[in-house]
Amino acid sequence: MRTAFKRKTILNLDNIIDTDSYKLSHFLLYPDDMEYMESYFEARGGEFTECSLFALQYFIHRYLAEPLTDEAIDRMASFAEKHGEPFNLEGWRYMKEKYGYIPVTIRAIPEGLIVPISNVIIVVRSPRDPKIAWVTNWLETELSRLWYPSDVIIGSREVMKVWKHYLDKTSDTPEEIVFKHHDFGSRGVTCREQAMLGGAAHLAAGFLGSDTLAGVMMANHYYDEEMSGFSIPATEHSTMTIFGEENEKQTVIRWVTKTLVERQLPPGIPKLAACVGDSWDIFRFTRMVCEDDVRLLVKNSGGTLVVRPDSGDPIDTLLKLFRIFEECLPEGEVTKNGKGYKVLPPYFRMIWGDGINRRSMKSILAAVTDHGWSASNLAFGSGGGLLMDFNRDTQKHAFKLCYAIVGGKGRKVSKSPITDRGKRSKEGRLDLIKYGNGYRTVVLDDGVDQHPDSVLVTYYDRGEITYHTTLKEVRARTAI
């Protein structure tokens, strides 16, 4: 007889419990007369010379704006005791009664703003209250996770630069860039929230193509966009192989008929459909779609069939496929554009969606264009290489204490490891200002909350959300 188990309740990791274990003890270690703490977040360096910020707005709306509750405090107190850590029950109860929320103030760069590395991008300040000044660094764990969407947005922006170079060089329609890097990453990430954060960050960088529904919906919801990303009908191997290899041509004709011939689209939506071709023999597949019964069906539909190879060495395979198209299509169908590069007829394009990352794209585009083919012929889909090819050391993100008030006196705080000067932290009350054509981190005088030329904005102030931006505005800031 089958045993049925009752479903577990949903585990809610609220702001009190979503930290590192060792932080539970830190209220005991700070000076007894500490009244204030200020910390900052930066990208110290790494792969890219620039950095940005994304998803702080999401974090505030989703997590930080939740009110404190007695239930959450008592739950954490019980957990800490069993976990082997002390817990500042008195401090949290005081915080809840006096403030109602975690009462920090968060100032940060507007999301999507591009600044040089090694500059402050977030500043977190406690209230001047000796009972809870320690709360600033309680949030280090949660806020430090912003390294991930911030790396994705800058990584996708770097990919945008690569595409811009090759489209400017080889294409008559460089505006198509927004659909050249498609997000295939949802199944390759660790969880739904990572798909949301990374998928939305990719869209925030200015690309419009995505199959990561969680990311599209996050960008729509938290950043006020009616539709932030777009996709097209596409086959997978299950939909191709279910009919058998001997029926591959009939399967393609069936697909083209349903998605390009019969399908009706709203005005302004282009008619495209992708078809994976490497279930068996991608070279035979490409010759087959060039045969008149398939080719004319596609051409007369007014749409575009996007052939997806996805197996083998991408450079060797793509170059061979371009040759097949050139040999098998009727004379005059492959043309040269205004920049002298060969272009497939508008009813055929290709997308490569396997093993693609920000490094492999460069070599593929270089090889394709070196052989005389325009970058317009090709797009990329990227999964793990788009949403998983980062870690916190990619840009060396760090959250550090920089200033405190102890015994009524301001105290600059920093670290400077003798074994790694790259880990030296900043000290003092910090701000970021516009300086000439760039940006510079400055130290404020005691008692000064912000520089007159500050570019930081106050996102959150002791329970109140005080800033909002839209995806349109974020994209404008990331624009190359």
Residue 32: give its domain's CATH number.
Answer: 3.20.140.10
**Domain limits at 161?**
151-387
Phi, psi at 414, each rounded to 5°: -160, 170
Q: Are 259 and 299 in contact (CB under 8 A)?
A: no
Residue 16 covered by a domain: no
**334 and 246, same structural domain?**
yes
User: Which residues in the chain come in under a pLDDT of 50?
Assistant: none
Residues 420 and 350 in one domain: no
Residue at 336 is within a domain: yes
- Examine the fold and report which residue of 353, 371, 387 is the final residue of a domain before the chain moves on: 387
Q: Which of 358, 387, 416 is the last residue of a domain?
A: 387
pLDDT at 13: 86
pLDDT of residue 93: 98
pLDDT at 12: 84
| Pick from 356, 359, 346, 292: nearest CA to 318 | 356
Identify whether 5 is part of a domain.
Answer: no
- Name, in order, each residue with C-beta under 8 angstroms of 405's C-beta and a sequence gap of 6 or more: 34, 35, 36, 128, 133, 411
Domain edge (last residue) among 361, 387, 413: 387
The predicted pLDDT at position 267 comes to 85
pLDDT at 400: 97
Same domain, 366 and 414: no
Q: What pLDDT score was predicted for residue 378?
A: 97
Indicate whether 318 and 207 sit together in one domain.
yes
pLDDT of residue 29: 96
Mode of pairing for the β-strands spanning 342-343 and 335-336: antiparallel
* Main-chain dihedrals φ then ψ at residue 105, nearest 5 degrees: -115, 130
- Beta-carbon contacts of residue 96 (< 8 Å; ≥ 6 apart): 68, 69, 70, 73
Q: What is the pLDDT of residue 316?
A: 97
| Encoded amino acid at 391, one letter | N
In a domain, 11, yes or no: no
pLDDT at 268: 82
Domain count, the chain: 2
Q: So what's the pLDDT on residue 408?
A: 96
Q: Are residues 141 and 157 both part of a single domain? A: no
